[in-house]
Amino acid sequence: MTTATTLLDAITVRESDGRAIPDAATRETIGYAPVHGLEDLDAAVGAARGAQPAWAALGHQERSRILHRIADDIEARSEELAVILSREQGKPLDGPNARFEIGAAAAWTRNAADTVLEPEVVFENGTSRAEVHYDPLGVVGAIGPWNWPIMISVWQIAPSLRMGNAVVVKPSEYTPLSVLALVEVFNAHLPEGVLSVVVGDREVGAAIAKHPGLDKIMFTGSTATGRKIIESSAQNLARLTLELGGNDAGIVLPGTDVSKIAQDLFWGIFINTGQTCAALKRLYVHDSLYESVVDALSDLASTTPMGPGLEAGNVLGPLQNQKQFEIVSRLVDEARSGGATVVTGGTPAEELGPLFYRPTVVADIADDASLVVEEQFGPVIPVLRFSDIDDAVARANSSTQGLGASVWSDDVDAALDVAARLQAGTVWINQHGALNPHVPFGGTKQSGYGQEFGVAGLKAVAAPKVISR
């Protein structure tokens, strides 16, 4: 019998058996995460294969009921989950951050419970009839990133379970505790073996991608890793859903009331301190509004509270890890030395902790600057000028990535016209990055393929089977 009274006690191991996981803001050790290897992966896949048929046989109604109980439990333990997430990932409790992420985890779990995927009649002529039915695939391998570790794990786990699959999840090596805590809550309600977590590094991730016991890989992470997963899946022919990197463009059209959009524009860029796949990462502003947009964003960037996540009132946090801190610092330094103007920020906020970087607005920057071409994944926005809308659309579409995009305008018809011409999986009007569990989400171009959420998300973790008569 376990004597653990808190989630953190339940998921951490003794120092001698684990790996120290630092608080992203203070760098103090939160606890020790287990270290799993390839044998642990094989054991988890074996348990999942053993448990999956009975889980599938429970039927949709029962699985849906269990998922609702899990969502209730996520809500009941939300503060505990939010504190672990805030410390490990760095995002503050307040604002659109840790508490918000736990709320989303519950909401997406309920959505997976409530969404119905009926068989579809695709042909009928009086004498013959063909229907598409959706069976479980078997065992799903879920590989996640460190930026929204709990919410993104739920996106992968909940629909997979709903469709009758078992799941083996591998969190990012930077955020294992958040996912272990989430899985602990799920597993209080699931039969043994249906959901396991393997806390491994890249080697374990690579082994998941080619594991013969897995039928589907749900991957969220960088485009570079996505490419490796595609190569590995040649071996097991696992189905893939790839949610990869983004370099989302936003376009502010002439005639827009900047004061009305400034707050939403700011959070579209700086949500999770910029460490969000579908955050706004390049902003194109019409000449007539350029100075006022730069000023409005700079005002918000320099006044929005940043600091350790557990301190009430902070809504921006540190970069999650040293590698990301170095990427952000390099991109800003290169922009500066290339002649761009750093209007606000542009330096580490050392007084707050080693991984804090001031919210930064960069103006007068060239299209070929690395800060424009590469994904910064941090609290920095390059603002570019345009005078011709066709030119702005062409520059927005020039990226190899195509996750999201946005158009900002008081004239919705003009915005819709531009939206139709942008190459992205989602185009938002007067918002950026807002997600809805009913609405499919996924990338185009090198931002990946496959969609998550709602009915499309259930289809992505199911095996279509045609029954013809």
Residues belonging to the active site = 243
Closest approach, Cβ 229 to ligand NAD, in A, equals: 5
Closest CA to 153 of 165, 141, 163, 162: 141
* Nearest residue (CB) to ligand NAD, 236 versus 298: 236
**Would you tell me how many other CB atoms lie within 10 Å of the CB of residue 37?**
14
* Nearest residue (CB) to ligand NAD, 64 versus 426: 426
Binding site for ligand NAD (CB under 6 A): 143-147, 152, 170, 172-173, 202, 205-206, 209, 220-222, 225, 228-229, 243-246, 277, 375, 377, 403, 443, 448
* Nearest residue (CB) to ligand NAD, 42 versus 72: 42
Closest approach, Cβ 145 to ligand NAD, in A, equals: 3
Most distant CA pair in the chain: distance in Å?
76
Amino acid at 294: V
> Quick check: 407 and 250 in contact, CB under 8 A?
yes
Closest approach, Cβ 375 to ligand NAD, in A, equals: 5
Q: What angle do CA 274, 172, 277 make, to 5 degrees?
A: 30
* Nearest residue (CB) to ligand NAD, 63 versus 211: 211
Closest CA to 349 of 359, 357, 337, 341: 357
Crossing angle of the two packed helices 78-89 and 149-162, in degrees rounded to 10 = 130
Which residue has the CB atom at the shortest distance from ligand NAD?
A: 205
* Nearest residue (CB) to ligand NAD, 174 versus 356: 174
Closest approach, Cβ 221 to ligand NAD, in A, equals: 3
> Quick check: 214 and 141 in contact, CB under 8 A?
yes
3-state secondary structure of 369: coil
- Buried b / exposed e across 230-266, counting CB within 10 Å, b at 16+? eebbeebebbbbbbbbbbbbbbbbbebebeebbebbb
- CA atoms of 436 and 448, how far apart (whole Å): 19
Closest approach, Cβ 46 to ligand NAD, in A, equals: 20
> Quick check: 191 and 78 in contact, CB under 8 A?
no
Closest approach, Cβ 178 to ligand NAD, in A, equals: 12
* Nearest residue (CB) to ligand NAD, 267 versus 377: 377
Q: Give whole-number Cα distances, 416 to 253, 256, 278, 430, in Å.
A: 11, 14, 19, 11
> Quick check: 406 and 432 in contact, CB under 8 A?
yes
